[in-house]
Structure 1
Amino acid sequence: MNPVEDSIHEVENENINQRGTENRIWSSLSADRLLEKLSRPELAILYTDLKAYGERALKEPMPSLSFRLYRQFSDTGERKAYEEAYFDRRGRLAAVTMLALDLSRPNAMQVLEDMLWDICGEYTWCLTAHLGTGEVDQVDGNIDLFAAETVHMLAEVVTIHAERLDRLVIERIRFEAERRIFTPLYRDQRKFHWQTADHNWSAVCGGCCGMAALLLLEDEPTLRESICQTVRCMDAFLSGYGEDGGCAEGIGYWVYGFGYFTYYAEMLREYSKGELDLLTGSKITAIAAFPLRVHLSGGTYVNYSDSAEKEEIPSGLLSLLASRVGLQVDLPLHIPLFTEDPCHRWAHLLRNVMWSDPKMYGDEGASSQAERGFIFQNLGWMIAKGSLDSPDTKRTNGGPLHVAISVKGGHNDEPHNHNDLGQFIIHCGGENILCDPGAGLYTQAYFAPDREQLLHISSSGHNVPLIEGQEQSSGRQAQAHVLEAKLAEGGGELNTTLDLTSAYSGAASLARYTRQFHWKMASGGSRNGAELHLIDHFHWKSRMVSSAERFSSVDDSDAGCSSVVERWMSRVQPEVVMSGNLRWQGVHGTVHMTYDANQWQVLTEAIDTVDHDNVPVTFYRTSLSWTGAIDETEVRTERPNPLETVCEVRFIIEPKMGETEVSMRE
C-alpha cells in the first residue's frame, strides 16, 4: 500500500470515538497565538498591507453579488466582474478577521459578524463559471473549488473567534455548512466529478471540505465518512503526479493543488495525534521539491500550461514542507502580501502567518548540485541552470547572473493543456527572454470547444513551428517521444531530442519531425556565456513540389508540402544586428540568434493581448520562413536526404553589455 492507502486503512479501522472532543479544534488555531505571530518583525509589511485592506473594509459596505453580475456568465461568457466582487468579499472577510484579533477594535467584531452573515446569505458559494446556465438545479448541492474554500474559511474563522462571535452567527455558519456541503457530500454521498480527479480539484475541494468537517462536524459517523472520503480524494490527486514529482498544470497549480493537500494533511496529522500522516514517502518529497526545480532565478519560474512566470510561493507552505520533508529552500524569504493574491485566499494567508519561518530559507544559488538542473522523466520536462559573471553594475542583487533553459515534452491532453510540444524557454537574469505566454484570461471560450484557436493555448503562441500551414493538434495522441535526455552533472550541459511527428497530424506530407537541443555553458578562457544549438529536422513523404511552390507568407495555409515557419515568442522586441543575426536585449542579459539567411526569411510581428489578470501585454513573435524548395532535379542528385528540410539556429546568451561594448561588437 502507498501512504494514502495505508491512511484509509487506519481510518476505517480506528475507533474515532475514543479520540475525544479535545482534538476537534486545530490546537494552533487560536486568537492569542495568531496575534502573537502577527507581531513578529518579518510579518510587519504583511500586517501593514492587511490592515490597510481591512480598514477600508470596516468603512465600506460589502460589494454586491447582484443578479445582473450573476447572469453575466451565462449571457455573455464573461466572468471577471462577478469574480472581482466575489473575491473582494472574501478578502474583506479575511482582513477583518485578522483586525478583530485586536481587542481594542470592538467595531471590527461587529463588522465581522455582519460579513459572516452576509456570506451565509449568498445564493451560491460557487462561481458562476462552474454552474452552467446557473439554474436552480445547478446550484442546489453543487460544490466547486470556491464553495469548498468558503466553507473552509468560515470554519476556521468561527474557530478562531468562537469565544466572541454571537451564538446566532455561529449557528448560521454551521447550518449553511451542513446544508451546502456536509449533507450532499457526506450524508447523501452525492458523487462529484472532482472526487476522482487527478488534478487540483480533488485536493482543493476535498481538502477544504475535509478541514471544515474536522473543525465543525460533531457526530462521529459523519466525521469518519469525511476522513475516508477526503483521503481518497488525496489519493486521486496524487495519481496525477509521477514519481518525479512534476506538476503538468504548472507552478501556479502546484501551489493550489499541493498547497491544499498539505494544509489538509497537516490538520489531519494534528487531529489524529500523528497517527494519520499523508506527508510521507519519496513521491511526496519529490512533489515538494517541484517549485525549487522549476525556479530559474529571481522569482521567475518555468511557466508551461496556465501558470505565470512570476509566481508567489506561499512562505508558510514552503516553511512547513522544509520542516516536514527536509526540503532545501534556496530562496530568500519573501512573505507574499495579502493584496498580491487577486483571489485573497484565506488558507494561504493564515498559514503564511502561522508557519513562515526565516530559518528554513537560504540564499539563491545555494542549492545542491542536483538542483542545478533536472529531468522530469514522467512529465517530460528538461531543465538546465548555470551562472555567468556579470559586469552589469545596475544589478541590485550582485553576484552571478543566472541563466537557464527549459524544454517541454509531454502530450497535448494535459490538465490546463496548451498545444506546446517542443516548447522551450531561455532565461537570463530573472527574465524569460524567449518565453511561454502562460495563462490567458479565463472566459467561457477559454474552456469551450475550439479553445486551441486562442493565442495562449494554440501552438501559434509558443516557440514551435507551423508545418504546412498546420498548428499542433489537440489530444492524447499528440505526444512528444523523448529520444534522448542527458543532463551533465551540475546542469552545465543538456542534450535532448524529441520526436514531435504526432503533434502535426494535419500536415499531410510530413513523414517525421524531430527537434534537437544542445545546451552548454561556456567554460574556461575569456568566454562568458551559454549556447543553445537547436536543430529541427523535417522529413517529407515522396510527393515532390516544384521550386515554384515556395512558402511566401507566415499566414499562407496553402503553402507547399515542405513549407515550414519557425517561431520564437518574447516580450522583448528583437533587433536585426545583421543578416542572419537577431538580438533580444533583456534587462540583464542578451540573447543572440544566428541562422542561415539564404534559406530562411525573418519577420517579427507585435501581438497585443491580455494576460490572466486582464492586463494588456504585447508579445513579439519572430518567424523564420523557409524559402528553399525541393524539386525533382534535387531528388536525382546524390544529396543524402533530398526529402528533408533542416532548420539550424544558435542562441548565444550573454550578460548585458554597456553601450561602448555594443558599438564595438557591431
Structure 2
Amino acid sequence: MSSISADRLREKLSQPELSTLYTDLKAYGERALNEPMPSLSFRLYRQFSDTGERKAYEEAYFDRRGRLAAVAMLALDTARPDALQVLGEMLWDVCGEYTWCLPAHLGTGEIKQVDGNIDLFAAETVHMLAEIVTIHAERLDRLIIERIRSEAERRIFIPLYRDQRKYHWQTADHNWSAVCGGCCGMAALLLLKDETTLTESISHTVSCMNAFLSGYGEDGGCAEGIGYWVYGFGYFTYYAEMLCEYSEGELNLLAGSKISAIAAFPLRVHLSGGTFVNYSDSAEQEEIPSGLLSLLVSRIGLQVDLPLHIPLLTDDPCHRWAHLLRNVMWSDPAVYGDEGAYAQAERGFIFQNMGWMIAKGSLDSPDTKRTNGAPLHVAISIKGGHNDEPHNHNDLGQFIIHCGGENILCDPGAGLYTQAYFAPGRERLFHISSSGHSVPLIEGQEQSSGRQAQAHVLEAKLAEGGGELDTTLDLTSAYSGAASLARYTRQFHWRMSPDGSRDRAELRLIDRFQWKSRSMSSAERSSSVNDSHAEYSSVVERWMSRVQPEVMKSGDLHWQGAHGTVHMTYDANQWHVHTEAIHTVDHDNVPVTFYRTSLSWTGAIDETDVRIESSDLIETVCEVIFIIEPKMGETEVNMIE
C-alpha cells in the first residue's frame, strides 16, 4: 500500500515526539543485532501439553517478534547495512518456525493440530512479515521475499482462502474474529497477486468483521474490557483503513453510529490520569496506541481527555508490530487533550447493553502543589452483566471507587494465563472468582458461573453532569447455591458534594438479603429463644483494594490512597470486620498484594425475626457509606479516630 513506505517512516521517526520511542527501538534493536535469536526449542514447545506451562515458550516467541520489529525499523537507516543483513536473517528464521501459532492454542500440539492452523499469533505474524517486506522490498534479497510469500501461501492463504477451511474464529463475536481475520486480510492485500483470491479474501474478512461487531451492542461497550478493545477494535480499524485505501474510499467500514459508539468506549471508561475501568481481563493502566486513537479522532471525531503518550515497543509484552508501525505513522499530538480537557469530556455513561454504569466528577483539592490548582478527579463504576461473558469473571455487582488517578477500591483484573485459567473449574481462581471482587459471600456460596447468573438492572439513573447516579441490581440468580436466599438486591447512590461542599463525594451502598423461612410450631417457636430449632444464615461482605486499610477506633475503615482517601462507615454492632492480605501474581507474573476487607454477619432465620411487610420473607440489610475526599494529613486522620 502506498501509505507504507520506507521514506515516510524515516521522516516520521525523525519527529521530536517520537524521540523516546526511537531510543527504545534502538536499544532493543542493538541487542538483537549482537545476540542470536532465542530458540523455540522442542523442550519449550512441549511444556504446555506436558505441564500446562506457557510462559517460557511465549517469552521466547514474543522476544523474537520484538527483535524483528526493532531491527526492521533500524534497517530504515540506509547507513546501517548491518541492520538490513540481520533483518534478512531474522525473516528467514521466522519463516522456518515449526508453527506460527502458540502451543496453548494447539491442544496437545500434534502435527495434525499444527497443519493449516491459524490462531491470533499466526495471523499477526503473516501480517508483520507482509508489511516488513513491503517496506523493505527494494533492498531485501529477492529469495527472502519469495520465501515469505511461499510461507504465507502455505500457512495462511491456501487453507483460509483457497481451501476455505473453517475456523472457530470466523464467526466469533469477540477479538479473535477481528485480529485473525484482519491480519490475514491485510497480508492478503499486500501479498496476493491473484485477483480472484484477493476478492475472496476481502469478502471473507468483511464477514469476520461483521461477526466481531455483532459482539457489541449499540452502546459500543466491550465486555472484555479496555485491553481487548485495543486488541479487537484496534485490528478492526487497521484493516478498515487499509481496505478503504485499497478501494479508494469505496469500502469504508469506519462508518455508522455503532462504530462511533465503539470508538468512544475507551474515553467513556477512562476515569482519570490514564486509569480505566478494568473489569474482566483488563489492566487499570492500559496503553491505548496513540496511532489508533489519533486515526479514530481524524475519522470519527472524539473528545480526548488523555495526556499524550506514545507507547514504546517494550511497553507491550507481545511487541505487536501493527501497533508499533501505526504509532509511528499516525500519532498526532494535536488530537490529545490534557487534564483541562476533562471538563469537556463525558462525565458519566450508562452502557445499557452491558450493564456498566460510570459517573465522574471533580473535588476541590487543598493539594495545590500536586495539582497546580486543578481539581481532584473522582469516579464510581458499577458492573452488571452476566457470568458468561468473554474472559468472564464472576463479578456481578462489582464496583470501583476512583480518586486522583487511582482505583482505591479496585478490580483485580487479569491473572496469569495458564492452562488452568481457561480450563473447567477456572472460577475457583482468585482473579476470576467472586472471592476476588467486592461482592458478598452468601451462605458460604460464591457467585455461580453461566449465562443464567445475571444482574437484572432495576434502576439506572445518571444525572446530567455525572453528579448523581442511582442504580439497583437484582443479583439473586448469581447465588443459586444459597438455599435460604430468596432475593438479593444491591443499591448504589452516588452523590458529588452531598452536603453542599465541593471537597467530598459519597457512595451509599445498601445490600438487602431476603431469606426464606420455615413454618414453626408454637413449641418450636418458644424453644427458639435458645436457637435450638432456628435456622441460620450468613453473609460476608467484601471490599478489594491494593491499599491496606486502617481500622479506626470507632471500627470504621479508612483507605489512604496517593491523592485521595476513602472512609467507610457501617453498623459495627451487627457486622464484624476482618482484613487479610492476599498475595498473588498479575497477568505478567509480577507479584502483587490485594487487601480483602470482610464484614461478617450470622443470624437466625425464624419467626422471632422482623418480617418484610406483606410477605413471608425475613430481611437482612447491610448499609455502608463511603466518603471520598482529597488526601488527609496525619492530623486530620487522628481527628477522625
* TM-score, scaled to structure 1: 0.93
Aligned-partner residue type, residue 269 of structure 1: C
Aligned position for 2:542: 567
Q: Is the 8 A contact 1:535 1:649 kept in 2?
A: yes
Rounded to whole Å, the distance in 1 between the matches of 2:189 and 2:183 is: 10
- Comparing 124-133 with 627-636, greater Cα deviation is found at 627-636
Rounded to whole Å, the distance in 2 between the matches of 1:610 and 1:547 is: 48
After the TM superposition, which residues 378-457 of structure 1 pair with which residues of structure 2 at under 5 Å, given as runs?
Answer: 378-393=353-368, 395=370, 399-457=374-432
Rounded to whole Å, the distance in 2 between the matches of 1:387 and 1:230 is: 44
Rounded to whole Å, the distance in 1 between the matches of 2:612 and 2:511 is: 23
Aligned position for 2:184: 209
After the TM superposition, which residues 621-632 of structure 1 pair with which residues of structure 2 at under 5 Å, given as runs?
Answer: 621-632=596-607
Q: SS of the residue aligned with 1:578? A: coil
Aligned-partner residue type, residue 174 of structure 1: R
Q: Is the 8 A contact 1:155 1:212 kept in 2?
A: yes
1:343 equivalent to 2:313? Answer no
Aligned position for 1:138: 113
State the Cα distance separating 1:392 from its structure 2 match. 2.3
State the Cα distance separating 1:631 from its structure 2 match. 3.2
1:504-561 per-position Cα deviation (integer Å, ceiling 9, x unaligned): 11111111110000000006754510000000011111237967779xxxxxxxx965
Q: SS of the residue aligned with 1:351? A: helix
Give aligned pairs, total. 633
Q: SS of the residue aligned with 2:299? A: helix
State the Cα distance separating 1:297 from its structure 2 match. 0.6
Rounded to whole Å, the distance in 2 between the matches of 1:126 and 1:539 is: 51
1:559-604 per-position Cα deviation (integer Å, ceiling 9, x unaligned): 9652111000000111011233100010100000100011000000
Q: Is the 8 A contact 1:186 1:226 kept in 2?
A: yes
- In the alignment, which of 162, 167, 170 is matched to residue 187 of structure 1? 162
* TM-score, scaled to structure 2: 0.96
Q: Is the 8 A contact 1:369 1:490 kept in 2?
A: no
- In the alignment, which of 607, 615, 618 is matched to residue 582 of structure 2? 607
Rounded to whole Å, the distance in 1 between the matches of 2:189 and 2:65 is: 21
- In the alignment, which of 445, 448, 465 is matched to residue 490 of structure 1? 465
Aligned position for 2:591: 616
Aligned position for 2:304: 329
Given the superposition, is the C-alpha separation of residues 33 and 421 from structure 1 closer, same or farther in structure 2, using an over 3 Å criterion? same
Aligned position for 1:13: none
Rounded to whole Å, the distance in 2 between the matches of 1:469 and 1:544 is: 24
- In the alignment, which of 164, 168, 171 is matched to residue 146 of structure 2? 171
1:320 equivalent to 2:290? Answer no
Aligned-partner residue type, residue 212 of structure 1: A
Q: SS of the residue aligned with 2:600? A: strand
1:138-195 per-position Cα deviation (integer Å, ceiling 9, x unaligned): 0000000000000000000000000000000000100000000000000000000000
Rounded to whole Å, the distance in 1 between the matches of 2:385 and 2:529 is: 36
- Comparing 584-593 with 390-399, greater Cα deviation is found at 390-399
Identical aligned pairs, as a percentage?
Answer: 86
Aligned position for 2:524: none
1:477-503 per-position Cα deviation (integer Å, ceiling 9, x unaligned): 110000000000000000000000100
Q: Which runs of 5+ in 1 are unaligned?
A: 1-25, 551-558
Q: Is the 8 A contact 2:513 2:619 kept in 1?
A: yes
Q: SS of the residue aligned with 1:258? A: helix
Given the superposition, is the C-alpha separation of residues 212 and 631 from structure 1 closer, same or farther in structure 2, using an over 3 Å criterion? same
After the TM superposition, which residues 215-294 of structure 1 pair with which residues of structure 2 at under 5 Å, given as runs?
Answer: 215-294=190-269
Aligned-partner residue type, residue 443 of structure 1: T
- In the alignment, which of 501, 514, 529 is matched to residue 539 of structure 1? 514
Aligned-partner residue type, residue 97 of structure 1: A
Aligned position for 2:283: 308
State the Cα distance separating 1:641 from its structure 2 match. 7.8
Aligned position for 1:359: 334
Given the superposition, is the C-alpha separation of residues 397 and 66 from structure 1 closer, same or farther in structure 2, using an over 3 Å criterion? farther
Aligned position for 2:136: 161
Q: SS of the residue aligned with 2:547? A: coil
Rounded to whole Å, the distance in 2 between the matches of 1:507 and 1:642 is: 15
Rounded to whole Å, the distance in 2 between the matches of 1:470 and 1:157 is: 53
Aligned position for 1:474: 449
Given the superposition, is the C-alpha separation of residues 41 and 547 from structure 1 closer, same or farther in structure 2, using an over 3 Å criterion? farther
1:84 equivalent to 2:59? Answer yes
Q: Is the 8 A contact 1:499 1:515 kept in 2?
A: yes
Rounded to whole Å, the distance in 1 between the matches of 2:472 and 2:236 is: 35
1:31-80 per-position Cα deviation (integer Å, ceiling 9, x unaligned): 01000000001001111111110011100000000000000000000100
Rounded to whole Å, the distance in 2 between the matches of 1:332 and 1:430 is: 12
Q: Is the 8 A contact 2:305 2:341 kept in 1?
A: yes
Q: Which runs of 5+ in 2 are unaligned?
A: 521-527
Q: SS of the residue aligned with 1:246? A: coil
Aligned position for 2:174: 199
Please give the root-mean-square deviation of Cα atoms over the aligned residues, in Å. Answer: 1.8
State the Cα distance separating 1:639 from its structure 2 match. 11
Q: Is the 8 A contact 1:421 1:464 kept in 2?
A: yes
Aligned-partner residue type, residue 224 of structure 2: E
- Comparing 495-504 with 540-549, greater Cα deviation is found at 540-549
Aligned position for 1:16: none
Rounded to whole Å, the distance in 1 between the matches of 2:564 and 2:530 is: 42
Given the superposition, is the C-alpha separation of residues 636 and 66 from structure 1 closer, same or farther in structure 2, using an over 3 Å criterion? closer
Rounded to whole Å, the distance in 2 between the matches of 1:111 and 1:637 is: 76
Q: SS of the residue aligned with 1:362? A: coil
Aligned-partner residue type, residue 644 of structure 1: E
Aligned position for 1:14: none
Aligned position for 2:525: none
Aligned-partner residue type, residue 318 of structure 1: L
Q: Is the 8 A contact 1:315 1:336 kept in 2?
A: yes
1:113 equivalent to 2:113? Answer no
Q: Is the 8 A contact 1:580 1:596 kept in 2?
A: no
1:598 equivalent to 2:568? Answer no
Q: SS of the residue aligned with 2:322? A: helix
Given the superposition, is the C-alpha separation of residues 142 and 561 from structure 1 closer, same or farther in structure 2, using an over 3 Å criterion? farther
1:520 equivalent to 2:495? Answer yes
Q: Is the 8 A contact 1:496 1:517 kept in 2?
A: yes
Rounded to whole Å, the distance in 2 between the matches of 1:33 and 1:373 is: 40
Q: Is the 8 A contact 1:125 1:147 kept in 2?
A: yes
Q: Is the 8 A contact 1:569 1:620 kept in 2?
A: yes
Q: Is the 8 A contact 1:508 1:561 kept in 2?
A: no
Rounded to whole Å, the distance in 2 between the matches of 1:190 and 1:70 is: 25
Rounded to whole Å, the distance in 1 between the matches of 2:161 and 2:148 is: 17
Q: Is the 8 A contact 1:547 1:629 kept in 2?
A: no
State the Cα distance separating 1:332 from its structure 2 match. 1.4
